[in-house]
Amino acid sequence: EAKEIVLKAQILAGGRGKGTFNSGLKGGVHLTKDPKIVEQLAKQMIGYNLSTKQTPKDGVTVKKVMVAEALNISRETYFAILMDRACNGPVMVGSPKGGVDIEEVAVTSPELIFKEEIDIFEGIKDHQAAQMAKNLGFKGPLQQQAADQIKKLYNLFLKIDATQVEVNPFGETPEGQVVCFDAKINFDDNAEFRQKEIFAMDEKSENEPIENEAAKYDLKYIGLDGNIACFVNGAGLAMATCDIISLNGGKPANFLDLGGGVKEAQVYQAFKLLTADPKVKEL
């Protein structure tokens, strides 16, 4: 039986712990030792909008809440594996200072961030995993346990075609267990054909309806708040077009990348989507 319970609002945005609900509830993550309070907290979350640093101003409606056993954390570290263009492959990033914004650590204590490139052909080596576990400050038997977890996380990273597996905190319990307490995973869109099960879990209800419509035709669309529609072939060119519009005092209404293999039918649908958008005054 769980001694303590954690409730987490399930939305596709970070900063939930410091977020606020339009129900008046503060924080999208709550801990309680009383099971009776779980229902009360869930009622103040489900159906209400949660606003965080990463959501639109009005927040995002919470439709699901995760309820799990809360474990005691005696020490927190940060660990991630990500695809890095500069290294042409995966890189491990770790810090003994976890459980906080890693961006903050990078600014205030850059010497506490450790990076290690992984050869995509050879995979993660035992000595690399052991060194990272040591850099993260795990000692004694915990060091081997952490190294094993690091190797398993790399296998997961490959198996699910991830572009990022970020565990924060990657910590230890007072009982001597190494645990991935919280994680964020990003997936490679180009691997959708291989990862059907994962992509079927995508929560599309948080997108603008026009974004979901565009996705049906394999168009990359992101809604913005301006009135000049962008209709571009190639993501780099689309970003440059948005920049040029902004530079000249205009405001882009969207980012739309038709993609390299675009067909006539997709061009037709793209025009249809953009011209139906009431915000659009110019194209």
Catalytic residue set = 78, 166
Q: How far apart are CA 49 and CA 247, in angstroms?
A: 34
The number of residues in the chain equals 283
- Provide CB contacts within 8 A for 26, sequence distance 6+: 20
Contact (CB, 8 A) for 33 and 4 = yes
Contact (CB, 8 A) for 90 and 82 = yes
Q: What element of type H or E holds 211? A: helix 209-216
Q: How far apart are CA 225 and CA 231, in angstroms?
A: 15
Q: How far apart are CA 113 and CA 96, in angstroms?
A: 8
- Provide CB contacts within 8 A for 49, sequence distance 6+: 21, 22, 58, 59, 60, 61, 62
Distance of CA 181 to the CA centre of its chain: 15
Evaluated on CA atoms 94, 100, 103, 108, the torsion sign reads: negative
- Provide the token pair at 88: 């042409």
Phi, psi of 142 (to 5 degrees): -65, -30
CB neighbourhood size of 230 (10 A): 24
Q: What element of type H or E holds 130? A: helix 126-135
